[in-house]
A and B are shown apart, each in its own frame.
Chain A
Amino acid sequence: MMNTLKISFAVLKPPTRYLPSSNSVISQKLHSPSSSPSVKPPTISPLGRGKSGGSRVYSTFAARTNFKVNCYSNMAEPNSDLKQGDVTVKDDRIARISSSIRVIPDFPKPGIMFQDITTMLLDPVAFKDTIDLFVERYKEKNISVVAGVEARGFIFGPPIALAIGAKFVPMRKPNKLPGAVISEEYSLEYGTDIMEMHVGAVQAGERTLVIDDLIATGGTLVAAINLLERVGANVVECACVIELPDLKGRDKLGGKPLFVLVN
């Protein structure tokens, strides 16, 4: 008779033919939350991009089960000097952030699964963790400008800017910014749009971040990068909460690194 072990979390059971005949314990790795993962997290410079593969399923799995798993998608580790235990703590934060984001099907049009960050903003811990993860990455990196793309970039950019002692520069739709602006046209799926930045907001040589809630095709971020480079700024990195990797926006950023928390 098989001893069945009561498993209280949702997990993919291995096919029964692989189970030892005396019990139905699932593999040791899945069974012990405190065991070290079999793959070491990548050690890369703080502003480099993560090279390891991974998938979002780990973060939602962790969220459902309170598992501490390594969740490092294709993103850079916030701080490569951290010990294993600290990385585990950060993974909890990412799991919570990921599970706090709501998906709305068929918005704004059929076929699009809209990633709604407003539910994350309703969870003060998840929202704070999101900001903290960015701040930990960028403080003491001599970033003097955080550029946020209207409108959801306005939610994440200012708290980061305040925490790292940088200016916040809004990148806006046309005709919103008063006074002298520079404009950059960019492509949409159908047609084009325009992004504007104030003349004089950013000086040549300033180290800048570009922040938005999500990267899809990358068109918006490219427009922001172009605006900043046109005034001679140094765009150090683009940072988003969410990446839609299938749209390959990451590859369209002209070589600029991208840091994301979930995808």
Chain B
Amino acid sequence: MFAEENGLHGDPRIKAISDAIRVVPHFPKPGIMFQDITTLLLDQKAFKYTVDIFVDRYRDKKISVVAGVEARGFIFGPPIALAIGAKFVPLRKPKKLPGEVISESYVLEYGTDCLEMHVGAVQPGESVLIVDDLVATGGTLSAAIRLLERVGAEVIECACVIGLPQVKGNWRLNGVPLYVLVEPRLTDLECSL
């Protein structure tokens, strides 16, 4: 669900967040309008609003784990984890995590990729929130959900700053609800950088 449709209609913070995100055309390849959150991170107020909205939503949900998807999930996940008193668990590309890991592969447009999590980081029965900057096809988040469910955790929700239109009608991934703050913009009327 989008934040606007879920209690935050008219909240000026949502517009501030959306306006702070830069659109970079044809990155990483022609035809893709890349939603660049780095400009959001340069806007202290808008970055804080982003974290605050997620924290307000999740602080009373007894979530014990925030799992963040490498690498931009590492930017949004830890501030949320710290504020709600949860562990932060990084979900990483292959061979980055030392020690024992479990892996989950997922399909890309061309080929496959793999997400890894440390064995023992999450216990069976823990309530988990997964965080990433953006959800497009949901492939990465679905792999993240599978990793956590394999160790017996319960994924309460997936939270993303931006949700691409293709997920609008499909608000559950593997049965897990998705919470998104803003839609992508198609273009920048003026470039902020």
Assuming the contacts A151-B70, A178-B36, asked whether A122 and B41 have C-beta atoms less than 8 A apart, the reply is no
Interface-forming stretch among B91-99, B145-153, B159-167? B91-99
Interface-forming stretch among A26-34, A37-45, A71-79, A159-167? A159-167
Cβ contact within 8 Å between B82 and A128: yes
Interface-forming stretch among B5-13, B42-50, B107-115, B134-142? B42-50
CA distance in complex: A42, B187 (Å): 55
Measured CB to CB, the nearest residue on chain B to A157 is B75
A259 interface hit (Cβ, 8 Å): no
B174 interface hit (Cβ, 8 Å): no
Cβ contact within 8 Å between B44 and A170: no
Cβ contact within 8 Å between B41 and A168: yes
B53 interface hit (Cβ, 8 Å): no
Cβ contact within 8 Å between B90 and A168: no
Which positions 154-189 of chain B face chain A at CB distance < 8 Å?
none
Measured CB to CB, the nearest residue on chain B to A112 is B98
Cβ contact within 8 Å between B88 and A121: yes
Q: For residue B38, which residues in chain A have a CB less than 8 angstroms away from its CB?
A: 169-170, 177, 198, 201
Which positions 69-86 of chain B face chain A at CB distance < 8 Å?
70-72, 74-76, 78-79, 81-82, 85-86
Cβ contact within 8 Å between A127 and B89: no
Residues 160-196 of A, flagged 1 when their CB comes within 8 A of B and 0 if not, give 0110011111101001111110000000000000000
A256 interface hit (Cβ, 8 Å): no
Q: How many residue pairs, one in A and one in B, have C-beta atoms under 8 Å apart?
A: 109
A84 interface hit (Cβ, 8 Å): no
Q: Contact residues of B with A, CB < 8 Å?
A: 22, 24, 27-28, 34, 36, 38, 41-44, 47-48, 51, 70-72, 74-76, 78-79, 81-82, 85-90, 92, 95-99, 118, 121, 193
Interface-forming stretch among A2-10, A15-23, A87-95, A100-108? A100-108
Q: For residue A166, which residues in chain B have a CB less than 8 angstroms away from its CB?
A: 44
Cβ contact within 8 Å between A150 and B98: no
Q: For residue B96, which residues in chain A have a CB less than 8 angstroms away from its CB?
A: 151
Q: For residue B27, which residues in chain A have a CB less than 8 angstroms away from its CB?
A: 178-179
A116 interface hit (Cβ, 8 Å): yes
A47 interface hit (Cβ, 8 Å): no
Cβ contact within 8 Å between A154 and B89: no
A233 interface hit (Cβ, 8 Å): no
Most buried by A among B79, B118, B121: B79
Cβ contact within 8 Å between B87 and A179: no
CA distance in complex: A10, B38 (Å): 49
CA distance in complex: A230, B80 (Å): 33
Pairs A–B under 8 Å by Cβ, sample size 19: A102-B99, A116-B99, A118-B97, A118-B118, A127-B78, A131-B82, A154-B75, A156-B78, A158-B41, A158-B75, A158-B76, A162-B79, A168-B47, A172-B71, A176-B71, A178-B24, A178-B34, A179-B24, A201-B42
Most buried by A among B70, B88, B95: B88
Cβ contact within 8 Å between B24 and A122: no
Cβ contact within 8 Å between A114 and B41: no
Cβ-defined partner of A150 (8 Å) among B71, B90, B121:
B71
Cβ contact within 8 Å between A121 and B42: no
Assuming the contacts A116-B99, A170-B38, asked whether A121 and B193 have C-beta atoms less than 8 A apart, the reply is no
CA distance in complex: A118, B89 (Å): 7
A254 interface hit (Cβ, 8 Å): no
Measured CB to CB, the nearest residue on chain A to B68 is A155
Measured CB to CB, the nearest residue on chain A to B84 is A124
A200 interface hit (Cβ, 8 Å): yes
Cβ contact within 8 Å between B42 and A158: no
Q: For residue A82, which residues in chain B have a CB less than 8 angstroms away from its CB?
A: none
Determine how close the nearest CB of chain A comes to the CB of B109; give it in whole angstroms: 17
A199 interface hit (Cβ, 8 Å): yes
Q: What are the 4 A-B residue pairs with the smallest beta carbon separation, nearest first?
A: A178-B24, A104-B98, A178-B27, A154-B74
Cβ contact within 8 Å between A127 and B98: no
